[in-house]
Every structure is written in C-alpha cells, then in structure tokens.
Structure 1
Amino acid sequence: MTDTTTPTPTTTPLTSIGVIGSGDIGSGLARLAVAAGLDVVVANSRGPESLAGLVEELGPRARAAAPREAAEAGDLVVLAVPLGAYAALPVDALADRVVLSTGNYYPHRDGRIAELDSLELATAELEQRLLPGALVVKAFNGILAHHIPALTGSTPRTALAVQGDDATAKARVMELVDLLGFEPVDAGSLAESWRTEPESGAYTPIYAADAAALAVDHLADPGAPVTAERLRELVAASHRADVAARQF
C-alpha cells in the first residue's frame, strides 16, 4: 500500500458538520456528532419536514435543511447517499468543501457502472469525478451501520480507515473520526480505496464479534473492536474484489 499524502493538522477545531442523507449511516453519524458537541445540519431528498423526528431526537444542536444548505454548512460535509443520488446533489455548493463519503457500490441498488465493474476506478475515484471541485475523503464505508454506535469509544479503541488525496482534507476527516470515538488510520489515496470496499478483506466482517454468526444474522452481531495495528495489517493484505461479479 502506497500513500503519497501526509495528513497535516488543521488549525481550527471542528465545531459543526453538514450531513446529506438520513439513513442508518447519516443519522447515526449525526447522533455521534451531537454527542461530541458538534452542531449538525441534516438534509435528505424528502425535505426538512421529513426530518422533524430525527431533529427532535438530536436536540438543539441539530436542525433540518435542504441539501444545498447542508452542503454549505459546517466545517465539512458527510455524504451518506447512494451513487444514484449523486445526480441530484448541489455539486456547485460542494466545490472546495471537504466531503466525507461513506458509500459503496452495490449493483443491485445502483445499477451496473462500467468504470467500477472494469476496475478502471475505485468507487471513491468515481465519486470524486462526480463531484468536481470537492475534496472527497472516504471513511465509515467499511463498517456496518449498527456497529458504529456499538463500537464508538470502545476499549481498545476501534480503528477506521480514512482515504483521500488531499492531505488537509484527510486530516480534517481524521479529526472527525477521532471526535466521534474511533481511531483514524490513514489508509492511502482514493485510488487505493478499493482496499476497504466490499469483499476486499478489510470490509465490514472484520468488525464482527462472530464472523459465522454475522453471515447468518448481521444485525444480531454486537461488533468487536479492531485496533489500529490490526487494521493496518488488514488494509495492507487486502485484495481487489471482482467487482463485475458482485450481485449485492
């Protein structure tokens, strides 16, 4: 694994984030952000009124907005939407913004995408191409949604891979990962982000308490911490999946 960037500390601490996408990952990260003392602006494709319950649960640090406002709010933007939803994103508002992408390529949901099936691009590289001007960084894509609240603040601390091409943007995302209760691990560039994609060897099963039971009922698995040292080993040994054969 080769990493050509060196994350550099940011000078201003994170105080707020925008979150586009209110599914299990988006809402889960919003909850952790509020618990960490961050202000959160959350948006989805259905409109702010559909987020009333979530915002009430999150409390006074959170508010609902349209995607454009969430894209422009905060110190970075969490993007937790399917690839098919990228066409509706306010791309211009995301230009020059640090964008934490949590997504993966699932053909049954996203349709077949030739550049990904052929391995011409990793998913994060395609996302960067779809968001010209944004500073895309990958994180939280290699852990199941219900393992996020289960493993935050674990002992030992659970490590999460962070991948990106811009050193300052990567450092910003690593700061957020740390604030949310995880150990950030620099896992290379966007071109290497296949190392934490589905079937890679450094994907969600690594956080299972029981891998065999996870395959039977993944929601019943409570999760287990993965140390930074172990995650680095798994990322380095990861293999590139046969994406064209992926059915899920």
Structure 2
Amino acid sequence: MNIGIIGAGAIGSTLAGKLVKAGHTVKIANSRGPDTLGDVAAKTGATAVAIADAVKDVQVVVIAIPLKNVATLPADLFAGVPEDVIVIDPNNYDANRDGQIAAIDAGQPQSRWVSDRLGRAVVKVFNNTLFQVIAIAGTSDDTTGGIAIPVAGDDARQKAVVIDLVKEIGFQGVDAGSIDDSWHQQPGAPVYLTDYDANGVRAALARADKALIPVNRDKGFVQFGQQLKADTTQADFIAIVRKISRTTF
C-alpha cells in the first residue's frame, strides 16, 4: 500500500518506520520541506517529499502534526484526491500547545474538528498510546502479550483497512464507533495511555464519562510530571504512564 505521512515528529516518524518494515511504500513530509528530512528518511526508509506530494498517488494519508497546525495546511491540499483515500488522525488537543479551541472546549470531538478543517472524513487511531509503545509493539520488547487500540470512523471500509494496518504493526484494532464517538479515546478517557488488550479496550470505551475526561486528564498529567524524571528508562517510563493512567482514567 502507498501511504503518505504529513508530520515527521515522534508519531509520524515512528509510524513511517513501522509501516515501511511492514512492507508499505511510505512518503513523509513536514512544514520545512524534504531537504530537512534526510535523517528521518535514512532511519525509517520513507521517501521525503513536499506536503503537496504526500497526498498524491496514495491509499492512506496520516496527519501527524500538532492539532493547531491542521488549520494551517493548504486549503486545497486534498483537491483532486479521491474520496476513497483514507485520512488518519492520530492527534490530541493540548490547549497549552494549541491554544484554546472553542469548539473542542465546548465538547466537539477533537477528530470531528480535524475532519471539518480538512473537509475530509478521518479515522481516529494511534492517539491513545505513546510513540515509544508504537515503536515496540509486536517486537520482543513488548511484554504485554498484546496491546489493542481503538479505531473510530464513519466509514466501515476505511476502518477495516486501518484495523488491518494496526495489526500489521503489532497491535490489535478495536472498532470504537463513529468519529462523533471518538471522544471515548481522547486524553483523560479510560482507554487513554492504559494499553489494555482488546477486551480491556472495549470495557474502557464503555465506561467513558465525557464530563470526567478533562478532569481526569488534568489530574493524570500532574501525576506524570511528579513521577517522571530525566533519567527514567524507556521501560520504566511506559510502566509509570500505564500505572497512573489505569489508576486515574
């Protein structure tokens, strides 16, 4: 499958490497241009391109940029791109980084906001786990016995394709309903950063309380800041985040 990724940060570059290893042809772009992506291309096996080229001749596009930057993408980015091209949204809203977004603060699901900005249907996935976990999923370093992640979207075919991709890079995919249901996997929800198996994900999605999500999110992030240190190993970092999340969310 041909896949374009816009965003070469932690999530974008990690997904690029995993998808290339799974046998896909991957293009990756950032806001600074392909000349700045030599190291990322060398490390991941993806081809560095301009943003406009990342959406051409692909079956899947991943928008792996900070939420605030979605609105700065070219207005005609998807002009001429077939409607059956799947757009993946792994983003999370962070008011400290993104500024206040009134619609989201008022309760609009974050991925619905992204979909409205892009003028395209999106599939929400990869937002509820750490990029470090994405990197080790399905490898010998993953000692969980199998992590599942929720996949939300309005198109059943698109979700099925994404669930297959999720499986190829080491996760189990769980259908999490529509994009308007995707608040169930936002930061502060019981499924966020908890890395459950498929049954655990389904149970966590079912017990999500929309009113409690921002409260639990803020409480959990305070605890992260208190317990995570500069010399924390990756394994300990993942374990601490999972423990706090399972207790708080």
Q: TM-score, normalised by structure 2?
A: 0.79
Check the 8 A contact 2:137/2:169 in 1, yes or no: no
Q: 1:162 to 1:110 in 2, by over 3 A?
A: same
- Counterpart residue number, 2:245: none
Contact 2:189/2:216 (CA < 8 Å) preserved in 1?
no
Give 1:72's match in structure 2, choosing from 52, 56, 61.
56
User: 5+ residue gaps in structure 2?
Assistant: 222-249
8 Å contact 1:45–1:67 — kept in the other structure?
yes
Deviation string 1:177-210 (CA, Å, 9 cap, x unpaired) is 1111111100111111111101111101x13xxx
Give the 5 Å matches for 1:96-245. 96=83, 97-119=85-107, 121-132=108-119, 134-153=120-139, 154=142, 156-204=145-193, 206-207=194-195, 226-240=196-210, 241=212, 243=214
CA distance in 2 between partners of 1:135 and 1:53 (Å): 32
Distance 1:57 1:242, change over 3 A: closer
- 1:71 positional shift: 1.6
**Contact 2:188-2:215 within 8 A present in 1 as well:** no
Structure 1 residue 151: Cα displacement: 2.5
> Do 1:135 and 1:169's aligned partners in 2 also have CA atoms closer than 8 Å?
no
Q: What is aligned with 1:23?
A: 9
**Please, what TM-score do these two structures have when normalized by structure 1?**
0.79
Equivalent residue, structure 2, for 1:213: none
Whether the aligned pair in 2 keeps the contact of 1:201 and 1:234 (CA below 8 Å) is yes
With CA pairs under 8 Å and 6+ residues apart, which has the higher RCO, 1 or 2? Answer: 1
Work out whether residues 187 and 217 of structure 2, in 8 Å CA contact, stay in contact via their aligned partners in 1.
no
TM-fit CA distance, 1:93 = 3.5
**What is the identity percentage for the equivalent residue pairs of Structure 1 and Structure 2?**
38
Structure 1: state its 5+ residue gaps. Answer: 1-14, 208-225
Count of residues in Structure 1 that have an aligned counterpart in Structure 2: 211
The alpha carbon displacement at 1:176 in A equals: 1.2
**CA–CA distance in 2 between the matches of 1:230 and 1:108?**
30
